């Protein structure tokens, strides 16, 4: 066997040994930093997708709106804070029941995901006036976050607003 052929085999062999150890390291890293499923009920959500679309369409037809200072500024400060959201209809439809919650999560990750149900603190007295909902939220780090408001109104209409915000 010639000297150049021996050198070629040893370079190729070294490359494969390095590749083997690199793959082992990456597999080990992936197993250590494995993230859970973002939503445990993904299959059920898929089954009711058409129903959700109908509820959102009813929400748009009845002109249900959600107003919050976070949606207007696109910035939020870190730490614990009170979040208030006002839900009302531009068509002056009375808000009888509502299930409102917010989701705060990092883009493309589920590690710091927070889902909070909001409590009604002031009930609508006249149709179209709106009801105020509130909860406490703890923003644990700076950077980009996805902030979502989801509401089921009068058991037939839905609001789903998602906005990217920056925590300072």
CATH number of the structural domain 42-167: 2.60.40.650
Taking only the tens place, the pLDDT of each residue in 89-139 is 888 888 888 899 999 888 877 678 888 888 888 777 777 778 889 888 888
pLDDT at 1: 74
Taking only the tens place, the pLDDT of each residue in 4-42 is 888 989 999 999 999 999 999 999 888 887 766 666 667
Question: Sheet harboring 119-122: ordered strands across?
Answer: 64-67, 79-89, 131-139, 119-122
pTM to 2 decimals?
0.71
pLDDT at 15: 95
Tell how strand 143-153 and strand 157-167 pair up: antiparallel
Domain assignments of the chain as residue spans, ordered by start: 42-167
Residue 156: left (phi > 0), alpha (psi -120 to 50), or beta? Answer: alpha
pLDDT at 17: 94
For 59-76, what is the mean pLDDT? 86
Rounded to whole angstroms, the Cα distance separating 139 from 33 reads 22
């Amino acid at each position: 066997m010639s000297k150049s052929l021996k050198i070629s085999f040893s370079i190729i062999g070294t490359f494969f040994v390095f590749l083997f150890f690199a793959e082992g390291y990456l597999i080990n890293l992936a197993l250590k930093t494995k993230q859970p499923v973002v939503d445990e009920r993904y299959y059920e959500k898929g089954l009711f997708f058409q129903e959700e679309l109908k509820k959102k369409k009813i929400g748009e037809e009845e002109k249900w709106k959600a107003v919050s200072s976070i949606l207007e500024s696109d910035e939020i400060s870190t730490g614990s804070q009170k979040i208030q959201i006002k839900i009302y209809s531009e068509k002056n439809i009375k808000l009888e029941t509502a299930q409102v919650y917010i989701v705060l999560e990092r883009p493309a990750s589920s590690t710091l995901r927070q889902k909070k149900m909001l409590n009604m603190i002031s009930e609508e007295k006249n149709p179209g006036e709106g009801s105020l909902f509130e909860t406490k939220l703890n923003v644990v780090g700076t950077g980009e976050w996805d902030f979502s408001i989801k509401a089921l109104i009068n058991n037939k209409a839905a609001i789903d607003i998602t906005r990217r915000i920056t925590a300072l």
